Structure 1
Amino acid sequence: MPDIRIDPFPSPDEFAALWAAAWDGAEAPDFARILPRSLVHLGAYHEGRLVGFVNVAWDGGVHAFLLDTTVHPDLRQQGIATQLVMEATRIARERGAEWLHVDFEPHLTGFYRACGFRPTEAGLIRLT
């Protein structure tokens, strides 16, 4: 099982490699701007390489938002994402969050339900 690190601040190169593999060649966001404002983020490392990631953004109060759950395709179906989400949930609670929100595509419903998330009504406006 990979080593889960709390607030590791991976390098842009580490993010670029993981994102290209996990998101069909997509470019990684500029996490150097994002992570300093996060409640917590976690990295999964295997043999010194970033192979998983999750970020918890927050409103500065009681609401936190699970974002960017990612695992390298070669290591999926091994419980890494579950471990990342469960640890992120624990730390978000410890750091004062009372609610943890997540948005996901329909094919991930079973995964997030198994992690303890329940369906809610929500709204969304696309801004771009």
Structure 2
Amino acid sequence: MIDLVQSHGGAAETGWWHRVKRHSLGWVAARDAAGLLVGFVNVAWDGGVHAFLLDTKTRGTHQHHGIGTAVVRLAVERARAAGCEWLHVDFEPGLRRFYLDACGFRPTEAGLIRLAEGP
């Protein structure tokens, strides 16, 4: 995961996996023919009917080949099969076409409070 995060300019966080795995319904990973991790999405959940996509990543060298769309679609299928009724995702404006057009999410109204100070 560290290598995947860094492959597109992200800052990997030590201990991330141990913190998030207990809150996850599951995760979807994509690997290339050599076994290199090229895509990932974490499906967090509330233990009930709501699931949340977090940390969607596609290796920088493998972007724009449908990998991100494929991992999100499988996450949608698996969350539905697990009995979830809603799958939420937050995203920056530049990812709107990916999530709404390619992955089938629909826009909704939501609220947000930034709890940490900073940029």
Calculate the TM-score normalised by the size of structure 1. Answer: 0.83
- AA of the residue aligned to 1:60: G
Q: Extract unaligned runs of 5+ from structure 1.
A: 1-14
- d(CA) in 2 for partners of 1:87, 1:25: 24
1:38 aligns with 2:24: yes
8 A contact 1:20–1:28 mirrored in 2 = no
Q: Secondary structure at the match of 1:126?
A: coil
Residues 69 and 31 of structure 1: CA distance in aligned 2, closer, same or farther (over 3 Å): same
CA RMSD of aligned residues (A): 1.2
1-structure distance, mates of 2:21, 2:55: 12
- The count of corresponding residues between Structure 1 and Structure 2 is 113
Query: 1:10-49 counterparts in 2 under 5 A?
Result: 15-22=1-8, 24-28=9-13, 30-46=16-32, 47-49=34-36
Partner of 1:3: none
Alpha-carbon displacement from aligned partner over 1:75-101 (angstroms, at most 9, x marks no partner): 000000000000000000001110000
- Aligned-pair identity (%): 54
Q: Secondary structure at the match of 2:40?
A: strand
- Extract structure 1 runs of 4+ deviating beyond 3 A: none
* 1:61-115 CA distance string (max 9 Å, x none): 1011011110001000000000000000000000111000000011111111121
Residue equivalent to 1:121? 109
Runs (5+) with no aligned partner, structure 2: none
Change (3 A) 1:100 1:18: same
